[in-house]
Amino acid sequence: MTEHYPEPRMLIAGTWCQGEDGRTAAVLNPATEEVVGRVPLASRGDLDRALAAAETGFAAWRATPIARRTAILHAAADLLTERAGEVGRIMTLEQGKPLKEARGEAVRVAGTLRWHADDARRAYGRVIPSAPGTLLTVRREPAGVIAAFTPWNFPAGSPMRKIAAALSAGCSIVIKASEETPGTACALAACLQEAGLPDGALNLVFGEPAEVSAHLIAAPAVRLVAFTGSIPVGKLLAAAAGAEMKPTLMELGGHAPVIVCADADPVTAARRAAAAKFANAGQVCTSPSRFLVHESLLAEFTAAFVEAAEAVVMGDGLADGVTMGPMANARRVKAMEELVTDAVSRGAEVRTGGRRPDRAGYFFPPTVLTGVPADARIMVEEPFGPVAPIAGFTDLDDALRTANALPYGLAAYGFTESAATAERLVAGFEAGILSINHCGGSVHEAPSGGVKESGHGREGGPEGLDGYLVTKRVSHLLGT
């Protein structure tokens, strides 16, 4: 390998370390399938040390004045901004996304940290009018030690949304980031440590997912469980937390419908939707993934979408000019092949792509399917990849029923030139995130999260901080 990849370590009680039993797992470059490093896997002893450190770290961090906490988090954000190029290169090596996307992600998460640090200054309580001689107040306090679990598709974005909210609220955190993309998480943690975060306030571990989650969730020290990932895993973790009567924040999968109404501009809609569809090789929980287009626009929309798909430059994310990298692992390529094969067997037509190229790496091309029947797997299962199924409709109410028929409820998108129709879409979509006439991503200042099986709780905006705080009512009888 010509590219340098820093060897991942765990951060426990302020010390970077390997696991005590020496277990490791390979970290692969998805563009080449080569091993770039090895990630340590935590033992039960390592996890217990992290939990003990988090308890000590919580006591120190919650006692830190808010102005000092804010200054430390801003200093970490400044370091992350300075190192965005370095962090982006690590991210591309282990996850595959184009370097421009990776650098942009590093810069965005620095903004996430700044937003939450400032928002914590507005975690106001209140004084409630009460009986004479009684002071009745409501106070907002940090929840305590957080156990968090994050996936590989946004190696900086997913961990930082939890780290930033938890630390800004005054909590400490033990976070298990993905073993497939550990280097980015280490880079984030290093910025926070160097900025002056107390030892133990942030503990970063890796390990066998089922082992780590079971141990952390059951630990008495843990007061809240936060997870981003698939619906099946989210249900398992929520059930485990429920058995311990611990609250959860769950951002789970989606299968976002796109409705292109009869009065929309089909070319603009296709270009904007395609740009969002193929970002991060489609490995985005809010990615537009079911395209329902009015029959009168179907031909023009499809032609523009295919043109946009064929303009995507697929390759190693470190190479100049590449706009879509490989998928993150072999599992996702296999899933794409199976979904395309199933759709074609049911009568769908491949308009472009559809076949894995004969080259090293976990590549699958931008793929467009038309004439996709409603019972095709790709119309009911989250694809999480660069495959776009397009189907027509004639009645908007029918399209909304189709959009809402699945148990998912994370994101939805609509295109229309009518304000009245836009309101029909806003009222009709069952989703926690809705975009009209664009397919925009998350922003720091507004909440993101799902309904139905796509989870509960919110990340971003004031609501993102709220999940990491508990409400305490205080009634004080004065003069006694």
Place 479 in a pLDDT band, splitting at 50, 70 and 90.
confident
Query: What are the pLDDT digits (tens) for 219-243?
Result: 999 999 999 999 999 999 999 999 9
Predicted confidence at residue 460, as pLDDT, reads 95
Predicted confidence at residue 475, as pLDDT, reads 96
Query: What are the pLDDT digits (tens) for 198-227?
Result: 999 999 999 999 999 999 999 999 999 999
pLDDT of 2 strictly over 50: no
What average pLDDT does range 259-270 have in this prediction? 98
Q: What are 11's two structure tokens?
A: 């951060």
Query: What are the pLDDT digits (tens) for 330-360?
Result: 999 999 999 999 999 999 999 999 999 999 9
Task: Tell me the average pLDDT of the chain.
Answer: 97
Place 324 in a pLDDT band, splitting at 50, 70 and 90.
very high
Q: Where in the sequence numbering do the catalytic residues fall?
A: 251, 285
Query: What are the pLDDT digits (tens) for 280-314?
Result: 999 999 999 999 999 999 999 999 999 999 999 99
Predicted confidence at residue 480, as pLDDT, reads 63
Place 362 in a pLDDT band, splitting at 50, 70 and 90.
very high
Q: How far apart are CA 94 and CA 32, in angstroms?
A: 10
Query: What are the pLDDT digits (tens) for 59-79?
Result: 999 999 999 999 999 999 999
Look up the CATH architecture of domain 10-252+453-474.
3-Layer(aba) Sandwich (3.40)
Contact present, 191 and 83 (Cβ < 8 Å)? yes
Percentage, residues of the chain above pLDDT 70 = 99
Predicted confidence at residue 4, as pLDDT, reads 87
Predicted confidence at residue 225, as pLDDT, reads 98
Give the residue range(s) of CATH 3.40.605.10 domains in the chain: 10-252+453-474
Q: Which residues contact 335 (CB under 8 A, 6 or more apart)?
A: 383, 384, 385
The strand pair at 15-17 and 10-12 is best described as antiparallel
Predicted confidence at residue 296, as pLDDT, reads 98
Place 1 in a pLDDT band, splitting at 50, 70 and 90.
very low
Residue linked to tokens 């009986």: 131
Give the residue range(s) of CATH 3.40.309.10 domains in the chain: 256-449
Predicted confidence at residue 440, as pLDDT, reads 85
What average pLDDT does range 419-445 have in this prediction? 95
Percentage, residues of the chain above pLDDT 90 = 98
Look up the CATH architecture of domain 256-449.
3-Layer(aba) Sandwich (3.40)
What average pLDDT does range 13-17 have in this prediction? 98
Query: What are the pLDDT digits (tens) for 106-150?
Result: 999 999 999 999 999 999 999 999 999 999 999 999 999 999 999
Predicted confidence at residue 441, as pLDDT, reads 83
Residue 228 exposed, middle or buried by CB count within 10 Å (0-12, 13-18, 19+): buried
